[in-house]
Amino acid sequence: MANVSGSSPYLGEVPKPAGVTAARKALDSGILKGVPVAVKDIIVTADGRKSTAASKMLEPYESPYDATVVRKIVEAGAEVIGKTNLDEFAMGASTENSALGKTVNPWDPTRVPGGSSGGSAAAVAERSAPVGLGTDTGGSVRQPAAFCGVVGMKPTYGRVSRYGLIAMASSLDQAGTLTTNVADAATALGVIAGPDPLDATSVDRPVPDYRKALTGDVKGLKIGIPKEYFEVEGGAKDGGVQSEIEEAVEQAKEDLKKSGAEIVDVSLPHTKYAVSVYYLVMPAEASSNLARYDGIRYGHSVEREGSWQGSLEDVYFQSRAQGFGPEVKRRIMLGTYALSAGYYDAYYKKAMQVRTLITRDFEKAFKDADLLLTPTTPTTAFKLGEKSDDPLAMYLADIFTVPASLAGLPAISVPAGFDKAGLPIGLQLIGQHWDEETVLRAAHAYEQRHDWHVKEPPKPKEPQ
């Protein structure tokens, strides 16, 4: 089995289904009985497995309760086969920022699987599990789905309970699914969606039967192409769009047009500010959420090691210095600065105001279109270590996924072919609030025209 989970002990050898298995039949019938599910290790489970958020800060933690999404899939008959690797506290776009080790891309082990749900995406891509649970704050389900050639679904914020998700940014975090095809995404979303009295941000709305939306028919559907997504300055390394990805989007437009959809141009003028806004809002909320890990109430503590003689302030400082990795520290410092006296209005408040403008852009665009079509990522999977010393380049890997997250919109990434190096390309469809049905409908119709979703990564070579 490919090394999809780095040094994580949680996702071990899992027997791969051969032919039409009971799991496959279960998914096809719209239930999860007997289906293996891999769970991102930022979603807590009460099954004796650790819930670490891939951080030394939570290294020994075992949750006394299941996250609501875990409880729902278990009640639907699924089997949690293990916890998967991620960027520490979901802060990253490559699954390299993990105390458990790096995760590699099953299509090319010299490249990243994306992040932060890279472990779940890699597990689904290499067929260790037909369903993976992840979380998407700024693209952490959709971006790794694109890099690993699988389907990544982020529902509307509030559609799925966040209870039991170890919090990073509370106004952005949302549980999502990773699957090999759109039908499985519809099935899994139908199981985990719905209101939850344990999560005040979940919304009491009826959950449709998403599988009924998979008609294969997109006739009359208006699909918007936001011009700003193709006007990113610079080459691919600077946030521009890789030529093969542009070609894939152009081909997708033609495919959907041939299927009966109408392609229209739309504008999202504040898109250019989305990454800047995200990297103020998200670190600010992360700084607040992670303040609880102080070495006294929660998390790694130098005092509990038995020989510490320092002051209380020293316990705080040393515990957090040892418990958090470099990227988490970077974002905590950025967020704390943005929230500090004298800077709050200039940074966090202003970012929230621009976030509102980004949301209004989408609302205006949806007056002319039923959903939007964009690339998922500006490039295909990059090399391990390629962007580790350049945080800005790493942040730009989420340039096309962040806007929908800021607006709380549902979005999906589906396989859209391969580049010249044989690496998967992802196509993103963004829908209106609470309209996951149209997103899934269009994604499924597009998927039916190709066989990219059934292609599997090359088998790893046996060690000599």
One of 8, 94, 116, 301 is an active-site residue; which one?
Answer: 116
Closest CA to 390 of 148, 108, 93, 114: 93
Whether 45 and 80 have beta carbons less than 8 Å apart is answered as yes
Whether 426 and 414 have beta carbons less than 8 Å apart is answered as yes
Beta bridge partners of 177: 133, 153
Strands 175-179 and 151-154, bridge-based pairing: antiparallel
Strands 36-40 and 131-135, bridge-based pairing: parallel
Q: Is 140 a catalytic residue?
A: yes
Whether 75 and 85 have beta carbons less than 8 Å apart is answered as no
One of 5, 8, 40, 63 is an active-site residue; which one?
Answer: 40
Closest CA to 138 of 334, 277, 237, 43: 277
Q: Is 116 a catalytic residue?
A: yes
Whether 356 and 119 have beta carbons less than 8 Å apart is answered as no
Rounded CA-CA distance 464/461 in Å is 9
Phi and psi torsions of 21, nearest 5°: -95, 175
Distances in Å between the Cα of 241 and the Cα atoms of 93, 125, 324, 361 are 17, 24, 33, 22
Whether 272 and 239 have beta carbons less than 8 Å apart is answered as no
Beta-carbon contacts of residue 327 (< 8 Å; ≥ 6 apart) = 87, 88, 91, 92, 97, 391
Beta-carbon contacts of residue 368 (< 8 Å; ≥ 6 apart) = 222, 224, 264, 266
For tokens 């998200």, what's the residue? 282
One of 120, 128, 140, 202 is an active-site residue; which one?
Answer: 140
Q: Is 413 a catalytic residue?
A: no
- List residues with catalytic annotation: 40, 116, 140
